[in-house]
Structure 1
């Protein structure tokens, strides 16, 4: 018997069942990825699966607004450019990036369109200096 190869086969390599826990959600999202996939692509896939399942809280689709952690291996966030299989783990935590108070204040003042650029720089510098 002859077996036909699938035309849509992805890159060669091992496939992993990953489990991604989203902070504030009821349970993990599980899906299969290639171990050579980039962390950024895994975050994107997780956000799409999360939205498709109608989970709460609503996260949005901007993968740049999230970090992926591997708590069993290391405490810092994974680089979006490393491969998911490089950690040797299958359980991850997806966290939304936090925004600092200074960033929110600067964004609020620039959205309004009020003031000039000198006032904006002075305000952002005073926020940074006062937070230290």
Structure 2
């Protein structure tokens, strides 16, 4: 007869504490939640978020190139997090994952207005800041 021993917890020395984080993707239904070590770097968290997102079959399809994405803190500041900083140094657990804005060629005013209105109707393109600015600009210019 075998005797079951209780599972022993792994030593956390050198690995830091584990955190349950929540990452919201603009245009997707509900946040992604997973556990990370507080010593994990932001770029590694972005990789894990993209893999989890794809594994769950979420829409819109994002791709897997981490260089196309920025991670923002949901509560404080408007600057993207530095990809080389540790996720635990921020002190929060809620984040937003956004695609980097694409650089546009200079166009005439009519072409730019058309691009702004069409890009604001697509979900998942650009950062949440750009989306908010475009939305506010459309409301102001429609008087």
How do residues 47-66 of structure 1 correspond to structure 2 at under 5 angstroms? 47-66=50-69
Unaligned runs of 5+ in 1: 104-132
TM-score (norm 1): 0.70
Once the two structures are TM-superposed, the CA of residue 74 in structure 1 deviates from its matched residue by 1.7
C-alpha change, 1:71 and 1:52, in structure 2 (3 Å) is same
The number of residues matched between the two structures is 102
What is the CA–CA distance in structure 2 between the aligned matches of 1:23 and 1:33, rounded to whole Å? 21
C-alpha change, 1:80 and 1:10, in structure 2 (3 Å) is farther
Q: Tell me the equivalent position of 1:13.
A: 16
TM-score (norm 2): 0.65
Q: Which runs of 4+ in 1 moved over 4 A?
A: 1-6
Unaligned runs of 5+ in 2: 107-143
Once the two structures are TM-superposed, the CA of residue 73 in structure 1 deviates from its matched residue by 2.1
Q: Tell me the equivalent position of 1:92.
A: 95
